[in-house]
Structure 1
Amino acid sequence: MKFSLNSYFILICFGVSALNAATRKQVRDRNRENLIIGGQKVPIDGAPWVVSIVRNHQLICAGSLLTNDVVLTAASCIKAVEPAELLVRGGTTAFKNSGKLRRIKETIHHPKYVEGSHAYNVALLHLLRPFNHTDDHVGQVKLPDVDSTLPSAINIYGWGLSSNKTNVIMTKNLRFTKTKIYSDKKCAQYLTEEEEDTDYVFCSGDRTKISDICTDDPGSAAIFNDNVQFGVVSDGGACSETRTTILTNLAKHTRWIKNLLNEFERENKNKKTH
């Protein structure tokens, strides 16, 4: 089919008028958000460990429950924020309502974390009150062994767009997408020269997929079989030029995390005896 110059002009005008100023702003705002494009919906019993981290009624990051009162997330989510400013919502796939809200007693990020880096982008949130252990909608992730080998692919969970069409709003429910894990050599292409301890980082993505993580969903869990969490999303994603997600390798932080969990447990026991 051939088009005249007038036809092209009409098509261009139609496209410009359809995407009005409000819509363009909405698209820009979405691209700045931390979203998953597409993916599959997740029922709460499919990811009972997932939580949303909220500030001023806005979703800022995702996280996962290590225990009923400890949340694992990215250090970039909480380093510059007071614990009193945050709430954690669990027991639901929605980030705006339902489930249970918990306040945070303290936040601890890895002491080696530097803004903009990925190797140590991990943090724990110690909740003021635990989630109910008898709640069927609440569960926990497992940490990988220190010497664990990364799988070939990983499932990443988060909230975001159900489509990349401009008229689709942010989904209310949790979604997940499966991405391939890159080789160390390929991953190194997406890291800055200043990034140290590159074995503490891994990358995933799939340029052939429409359904993929968008921007970065920081703090989101990268899960393999049996709810083992191998990574925390740090940066990147399908909305970036590289369509690559950069993740902090949790196997390298298992000892640090377990030491903190033991400290929290001792604190809880001391609190009960006094």
Structure 2
Amino acid sequence: MRVTNYSCFILLISVVSPSSAAKQNNGRNKTSLVIGGRKVPRGGAPWQVSIIQNFHLKCGGTLLTNDVVLTAASCIKDVEPAELLVRAGTTAFKTGGKLRKVRETVYHPKFVENRHSYNIALLHLKRAFNSTNKLFGEVELFDATAQPPSSVYIYGWGLSSNKTDTLMTKNLRFTKAKVYSEKKCAEYLLEEDDSDLIFCAGDRTKISDICTDDMGSPAIINGNIQYGIVSDGGACSATRTTIFTNVGKHASWVERLIAEFSDENVNE
């Protein structure tokens, strides 16, 4: 694995309370994610992938190209590429679609564990997915010069209710979340986090929300434009919100890496 030293483009989501922002909640249930929301129909999120380690869902991600995946650095740090598989072309994380092995993983050089500002990584696959198949699609990165959205759609394979201890849902789900003001978001951030690279979103009623972890999964606007990546999470409660690292701020880092990966493919 290599770590580059370019400036970066990021998206991320996590759930943190102001009173406990400086503490890491290690006892949380790592299965729940999308509370409420709706099932994604077959082909409804063709860019969504699941990242598998030891036959278990490690985290979510998205296809930037047919052989490059965008996810969270916290998902792949200290994990060998050979330990990972990527599944795409299906709304199930256990079955269907196609699997690909990972050639290399690269995370942002400024990433620090338990921080959100630079929690971004790319996976370069050994073999590309079929770009002519409609079940496989790609996200576009948010333009940082554009007007920020007032809401985003968030995706994941977590519990569909915060009143159950059942296992993760088999089908990908999505829900809509309001983007909070920068002032409100600042209440949930660590002092070390760069608020310019982060945004917060959620549903304070907790009827529909992201809770706990599904690292690497996207926040999407306008069908396939990615605005954020799940960074980390915590239990649903009225005192928590969802934190995203803003991807549009780091587009140049992502684009340079994609170009490097493309050169490697040509030189094989």
TM over 0.5: yes
Residues 153-176 of structure 1, C-alpha deviation per residue, up to 9 Å, x if partnerless? 000001011223326442100000
Supply the distance in 2 between the matched residues of 1:237 and 1:37 (Cα, whole angstroms): 13
Larger deviation, residues 75-84 vs 208-217: 208-217
User: Equivalent residue of 1:117, what SS?
Assistant: coil
Partner residue of 1:226? Answer: 223
Instruction: State the partner residue of 1:108.
Output: 106
2:214 is matched with 217
- Structure 2 counterpart of 1:264: 261
The residue number in structure 1 matching 2:3 is none
TM (norm. structure 1) is 0.84
Measure, in 1, the Cα distance between the counterparts of 2:167 and 2:192: 37
8 Å contact kept, 1:238–1:245: no
Paired position in structure 2 for 1:207: 204
How far residue 138 of structure 1 moved from its aligned partner, in angstroms, is: 0.3
State the alpha-carbon separation in 1 of the partners of residues 123 and 233 from structure 2: 23
Which residue, 228, 251, 255 being the options, matches 1:254? Answer: 251
Higher mean C-alpha displacement, 141-150 vs 95-104: 141-150
Distance 1:36 1:248 in 2: 18
Q: 2:195 aligns with which of 198, 214, 217?
A: 198
Deviation of 1:34 (Å): 4.9
Distance 2:28 2:161 in 1: 12
RMSD: 1.8
Q: Tell me, which stretches of 5 or more residues in structure 2 are unaligned?
A: 1-25
- What is the DSSP-based 3-state SS (H/G/I as helix, E as strand, rest coil) of the residue aligned with 1:61? strand
User: Are the counterparts in 1 of residues 30 and 213 from structure 2 also a CA contact under 8 Å?
Assistant: no
Partner in structure 2 of residue 73 of structure 1: 71
Which residues of 2 match residues 92-241 of structure 1 at below 5 A? Answer: 92-166=90-164, 168-195=166-193, 197-236=194-233, 239=236
Query: Which runs of 5 or more structure 1 residues have no equivalent in the other structure?
Result: 1-27
Percent of paired sites with the same residue: 65
CA contact (8 A) 1:216 1:245 kept: no
CA distance in 1, matches of 2:127, 2:237: 38
Alpha-carbon shift at residue 207 of structure 1 (Å): 0.8
TM-score, length of structure 2 as denominator length = 0.86
Residue matched to 1:44: 42
User: Equivalents in 1 of 2:254, 2:164: separation in Å?
Assistant: 40
Q: Kindly indicate whether residue 93 of structure 2 is the aligned counterpart of residue 89 of structure 1.
A: no
Deviation at 1:37, TM superposition (A): 1.9
Deviation at 1:209, TM superposition (A): 3.7
Structure 1 residue 134, shift from structure 2 partner:
1.8
Instruction: Please say if residues 181 and 202 of structure 1, whose CA atoms lie closer than 8 Å, have aligned partners that are also in contact.
Output: yes
3-state SS of paired residue (1:226): coil
Question: Following the alignment from structure 2 to structure 1, what is the Cα–Cα distance between the partners of residues 165 and 195?
Answer: 39
Count of aligned residue pairs for this structure pair: 243
Distance 1:205 1:58 in 2: 27
Q: 1:145 to 1:166 in 2, by over 3 A?
A: closer
**Of the two structures, which has the highest relative contact order with CA contacts closer than 8 Å and spacing of 6 or more?**
2
* Counterpart Cα distance in 2 of 1:84 and 1:240: 37
C-alpha contact 1:162 1:168 (8 A) present in aligned 2:
no
Contact 1:215 1:240 survives alignment (8 Å):
no
